[in-house]
C-alpha cells in the first residue's frame, strides 16, 4: 500500500473502534456490532438499509487496505533529482494540478460572464415591462421592496417557472410558509431551467416538497439553534464571550428556504417586524452593562431594509457604547437588492469606522457564483472604499456541493472584493433534508478542493453549528467523534463544545444524512460519482 493509503486504514480503524464502544451504543440507541453479528449469523435485519451497508462496507474495506486512492500517477519526485531539475519537475506537476482545477471551475459560470449579463439584461427589461417600471426604478431599492413577489402568480409574472415550481409555491402559500422574491433576484433566473445553471438560485427561494411536507406535519417549525435558550434579553442572542447578535428588525425582503430563523420570521417585510423603541432601549442598556462584549452583529432579519435615518439612529447608539470595538451588519441585500448600497449609505456605514478604535464590517451570504453580478460588485466596491470589509458566509447545501463548485465561488468572491469567511454545514433541521450534505463531503471539499487554492482565497472555515452553543470547527478530529452508523445509513457524530478544555459543557450528538443517498442524488443530476470516491474515508 501507498503510505497515504495506510493512513486511510488507520482512519477506518479509528472510526470503527469508536462505533463499537458500549458508551456510544448507549448514546445512539443502536449497535453496529450487533448488526454485524446478526449479518454473520444470517439473521434478518430489515431495518438496515442499503446506505447502512454501503458505509460499513467501505469502512471495513478501508480497514483491509482496499481503498487504494493513491495508485497510478504520483506527484512523488525521483530521488535522484535535485536542485533546478527537481524544481522543474515539481512545477510541471503543479501545472497539471492547477489546470485540473481551472477546467473544473469552468463548469460553473458566474454572473459576471458576458453571456450571463446578456440574459439578465433581457430578463430585467421584461420584468420592468411586466411591472410598469423604468430603468430609474430598477436602480431604486425602494422600488424592489415595493414589488416583492409574494406568491406564485406574482413570481410567474417576472420569472420563468416550471409547472412543478408554480405548484410548490402555491402550496407554500397554503401552508403559510414565509415566501418572497425581489424583482432583482428574479432577474437571475434563466429562461431554460433545465440547463441547471441557475439551480442554486432557484433552490434559494423555491421550496422543495419535503420542506412543505414538514410544515404540514408539524404545528410549527422549531427553534433549532435554541436561540430562546441563548437570549438573555429580547433582541439579543449570546453564545460567545465577546460577541452578541442584535436583532432590531425581524424580516427580510426575500426569504431563504433554509433560513435559520424560519421559526419566527412571518414573511418578507412583515408588519410588526421592527422592534419597539422600548425593546431596543432595553437591549442597548443591556449591552452597555456587559463590558466583556466587544463585537456586535446587527442582523435579524435584514437590518438594511431600514432607512438611512433609522440605521443612523441605531448605529449612533451602538457606537456610543465604549467597549464595542467592532460593528457588523448582517445582510443579504448585496445579493437580493444590491442597489440598496448607495454612495450615501456606504458613507454612513463608513463613518462609524475609526482606525485604531472601531472596525465596521458587512457580513453577507452569496451562495453561488451565478449570484454575483456587476450590481453586487458596485455595492461591495462602495463599501470597501469606505474601509469596510465584506465577508461571505456560505451555506454548504446540496445545490453548491459539486466538485469545485465552492472553489469557483471563492475565486469569484475574491475578485469582487468579498472575503470567504465561514462555510456552514447545513443545519440538521427536519424540513431542510433536500439541502443537507454529509459532513464527510464538506470535509472532503476542504481537503481536496479548497486546499488547492491560494491561502487568501480559502480564508473560510468549515463549521457545524451546535444548537445552543454555536460554531464547531470541522477541520480536525479533536472537534468531534463519529459514534455510529444508524440503520438508515446516516452517521451519528458527537460534537465537542468549543469550551472544551476551558469550561465544563455537554457534548452534542447529531444525525447526519446518508452518504449513499447523497451520491445517488448527484448521479441523478449527471455527476460521475466515482469522482467522489474518497468521501467514504472522511470522518
Please return the burial class of 513, using the count of CB atoms within 10 Å of its CB with bins 0-12, 13-18 and 19+.
buried
Please tell me the predicted confidence (pLDDT) of residue 86.
Answer: 84
At 220, the pLDDT band (50, 70, 90 cuts) reads low
Predicted TM-score (pTM) of the model is 0.94
Q: What is the pLDDT of residues 277-301, one digit of tens each?
A: 999 999 999 999 999 999 999 998 9
Please tell me the predicted confidence (pLDDT) of residue 267.
Answer: 87
- How many CA atoms lie within 13 Å of 205's alpha carbon, on the beta-carbon side? 30
CA separation for the pair 101, 383 (Å, rounded): 31
Could you tell me which residue, 73 or 206, shows the higher pLDDT? Answer: 206
Residue for cell digits 482606525? 355
CA separation for the pair 501, 82 (Å, rounded): 45
Quick one: what percent of the chain has pLDDT higher than 70?
A: 98
Could you tell me which residue, 217 or 141, shows the higher pLDDT? Answer: 141
Closest CA to 474 of 462, 459, 485: 462
Q: What is the pLDDT of residues 408-433, one digit of tens each?
A: 999 999 999 999 999 999 988 888 99
CA separation for the pair 510, 467 (Å, rounded): 10
Q: What is the pLDDT of residues 120-159, one digit of tens each?
A: 999 999 999 999 999 999 999 999 999 999 999 999 999 9
Q: Mean pLDDT over residues 62-75, rounded?
A: 81
Amino acid at each position: 500500500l501507498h503510505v497515504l493509503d495506510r493512513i486511510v486504514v488507520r482512519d477506518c480503524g479509528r472510526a470503527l473502534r469508536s462505533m463499537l464502544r458500549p458508551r456510544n451504543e448507549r448514546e445512539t440507541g443502536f449497535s453496529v456490532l450487533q448488526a454485524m453479528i446478526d449479518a454473520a449469523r444470517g439473521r434478518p435485519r430489515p431495518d438496515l438499509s442499503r446506505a447502512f451497508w454501503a458505509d460499513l462496507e467501505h469502512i471495513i474495506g478501508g480497514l483491509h487496505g482496499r481503498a487504494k486512492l493513491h495508485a497510478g500517477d504520483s506527484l512523488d519526485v525521483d530521488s535522484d533529482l535535485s536542485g533546478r531539475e527537481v524544481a522543474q519537475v515539481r512545477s510541471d506537476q503543479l501545472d497539471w494540478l492547477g489546470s485540473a482545477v481551472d477546467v473544473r471551475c469552468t463548469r460553473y459560470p458566474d454572473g459576471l460572464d458576458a453571456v450571463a449579463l446578456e440574459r439578465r439584461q433581457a430578463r430585467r427589461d421584461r420584468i420592468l415591462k411586466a411591472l410598469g417600471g423604468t430603468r430609474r426604478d430598477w436602480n431604486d431599492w425602494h422600488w424592489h421592496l415595493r414589488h416583492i413577489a409574494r406568491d406564485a402568480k406574482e413570481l410567474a409574472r417576472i420569472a420563468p417557472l416550471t409547472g412543478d415550481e408554480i405548484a410548490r409555491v402555491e402550496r407554500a402559500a397554503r401552508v403559510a410558509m414565509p415566501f418572497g422574491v425581489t424583482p432583482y433576484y428574479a432577474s437571475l433566473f434563466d429562461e431554460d431551467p433545465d440547463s441547471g445553471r441557475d439551480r442554486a438560485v432557484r433552490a434559494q427561494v423555491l421550496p422543495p416538497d419535503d420542506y412543505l411536507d414538514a410544515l404540514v406535519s408539524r404545528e410549527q417549525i422549531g427553534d433549532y439553534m435554541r436561540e430562546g435558550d441563548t437570549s438573555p434579553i429580547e433582541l439579543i442572542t449570546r453564545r460567545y464571550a465577546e460577541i452578541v447578535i442584535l436583532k432590531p428588525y425581524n424580516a427580510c425582503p426575500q426569504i431563504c428556504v433554509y433560513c435559520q430563523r424560519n421559526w419566527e420570521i412571518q414573511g418578507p417585510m412583515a408588519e410588526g417586524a421592527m422592534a419597539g423603541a422600548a425593546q431596543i432601549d432595553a437591549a442597548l442598556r443591556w449591552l452597555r452593562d456587559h463590558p466583556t462584549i466587544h463585537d456586535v452583529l446587527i442582523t435579524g432579519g435584514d437590518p438594511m431594509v431600514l432607512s438611512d435615518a433609522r440605521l443612523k439612529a441605531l448605529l449612533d447608539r451602538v457606537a456610543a457604547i465604549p467597549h464595542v470595538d467592532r460593528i457588523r451588519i448582517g445582510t443579504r441585500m448585496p445579493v437580493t437588492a444590491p442597489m440598496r448600497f448607495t454612495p450615501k449609505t456606504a458613507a454612513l456605514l463608513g463613518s462609524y469606522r475609526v482606525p485604531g478604535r472601531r472596525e465596521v464590517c458587512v457580513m453577507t451570504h452569496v451562495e453561488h457564483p451565478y449570484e454575483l453580478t456587476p450590481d453586487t460588485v458596485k455595492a461591495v466596491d462602495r463599501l470597501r472604499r469606505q474601509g469596510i470589509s465584506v465577508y461571505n458566509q456560505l451555506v454548504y447545501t446540496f445545490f453548491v456541493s459539486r466538485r469545485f463548485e465552492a472553489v469557483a465561488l471563492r475565486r469569484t468572491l475574491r475578485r469582487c472584493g468579498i472575503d470567504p469567511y465561514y462555510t456552514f454545514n447545513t443545519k440538521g433541521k427536519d424540513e431542510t433534508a433536500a439541502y443537507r450534505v454529509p459532513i464527510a463531503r464538506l470535509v472532503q471539499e476542504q481537503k481536496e478542493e479548497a486546499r488547492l487554492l491560494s491561502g487568501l482565497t480559502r480564508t473560510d472555515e468549515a463549521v457545524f453549528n451546535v444548537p445552543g452553543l454555536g460554531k464547531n470547527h470541522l477541520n480536525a478530529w479533536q472537534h468531534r467523534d463519529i459514534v455510529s452508523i444508524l440503520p438508515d445509513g446516516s452517521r451519528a457524530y458527537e460534537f465537542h463544545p468549543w469550551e472544551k478544555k476551558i469550561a465544563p459543557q455537554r457534548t452534542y450528538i447529531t444525525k447526519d444524512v446518508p452518504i449513499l443517498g447523497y451520491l445517488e442524488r448527484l448521479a441523478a443530476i449527471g455527476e460521475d460519482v466515482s469522482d467522489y470516491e474518497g468521501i467514504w474515508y472522511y470522518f
